[in-house]
Amino acid sequence: MMIFECLIIDIAPTISRLLNIPMIRPTGKPISEVLKYAKKKDYKRVIIIVVDGLGYSLYIHLFPIMKNLNELVKKGLLFKCKSPATITSPAIASIFTGYPPDEHKIYSTADIYAERAKDSENPKLKSIMEWAYRMRMNVSAVIESGGAESFRGRIKNFYGVPDSEDILDYDRRITKYAVSSLKEKTDILAVHLRTLDRFSHRAKNWEELKSAAKEVDENSGNIFRNSEKGTILFICGDHVIHGGEKWLKNATEEEIKNHRQNLVALIVGCN
């Protein structure tokens, strides 16, 4: 299997190119391997699933468990993808905007409002979903309530699920909203699944972490199965796993290196 390399900030400009969405050119660049792959496909839509905490080495480690993701890798592409942030908010903002944190300056959900208050048209704060919505495309974001609220007035469909102690229930609700939004012929759907990250903080052993990976894989599979033929899926981590000491105990040198470099998994495939 070929493994390619890219940056997390390359995802938004790649989607912009795939779906012909005009955007002010961000710092990230379109990923040539994805453009080449997509050329051979008859595609119309894109789904982005951010899998919180899905580091590259973690994905390789959990490979046997994540059957739906593996299926997608087999017919698609796998990237070692460099993330510019080790926490969620700035990393996700980089995925959606195409800019690193020192440019978009979003380090928390509150920053989205603060930065927009300074300049509501700042292109560095605009997600690929917002650029698409400007073109009257049908876009949907299914994320945590606070983050979803920040899309109010900027895209039409945003589904928020309140944060919950029961993260399995939370992700299932996210998945349910995602699946129902796909019935509305969504051009771009963005989803954020959080179980793996929550477990990385709280789980005591690999068995528990593996059960989280399986759950994420099943939710992702549920979304794939309900997506229309001709959908390009981007599945990516936002940062490497938290609680590194616990999970890196028996790690190889290579795995430790990937962890230090904050390399996440990016899987791109067409259904």
Which helix (H) or strand (E) covers residue 6, if one does?
strand 3-7
Q: How far is the CB of 99 from Zn ion (least distance, A)?
A: 18
Query: Nearer to Zn ion by C-beta: 52 or 130?
Result: 52
Compute φ and ψ for 45, nearest 5 degrees: -130, 165
Query: Nearer to Zn ion by C-beta: 88 or 271?
Result: 88
Q: Is 250 helix (H, G, I), strand (E, B) or coil?
A: coil
Q: How far is the CB of 19 from Zn ion (least distance, A)?
A: 26
CA atoms in the 13 A half-sphere facing the CB of 152: 7
Query: Nearer to Zn ion by C-beta: 137 or 263?
Result: 263
Query: Nearer to Zn ion by C-beta: 175 or 227?
Result: 175
Q: How far is the CB of 16 from Zn ion (least distance, A)?
A: 24
Q: How far is the CB of 200 from Zn ion (least distance, A)?
A: 9
Please give the residue whose beta carbon sits closest to Zn ion in the complex. 88
Q: In what order do the strands lie in the sheet with 3-7?
A: 3-7, 77-82, 263-270, 231-237, 45-51, 188-193, 139-144, 157-161
Cα 120 vs. chain centroid, distance in angstroms? Answer: 24
Task: Give burial (CB, 10 Å; 0-12/13-18/19+) of 5.
Answer: middle
Q: At what angle do helices 206-225 and 167-182 cross, to 10 degrees?
A: 10
Q: How far is the CB of 108 from Zn ion (least distance, A)?
A: 12
Query: Nearer to Zn ion by C-beta: 72 or 196?
Result: 196
Chain residues binding Zn ion by CB under 5 A are 52, 88, 197, 238
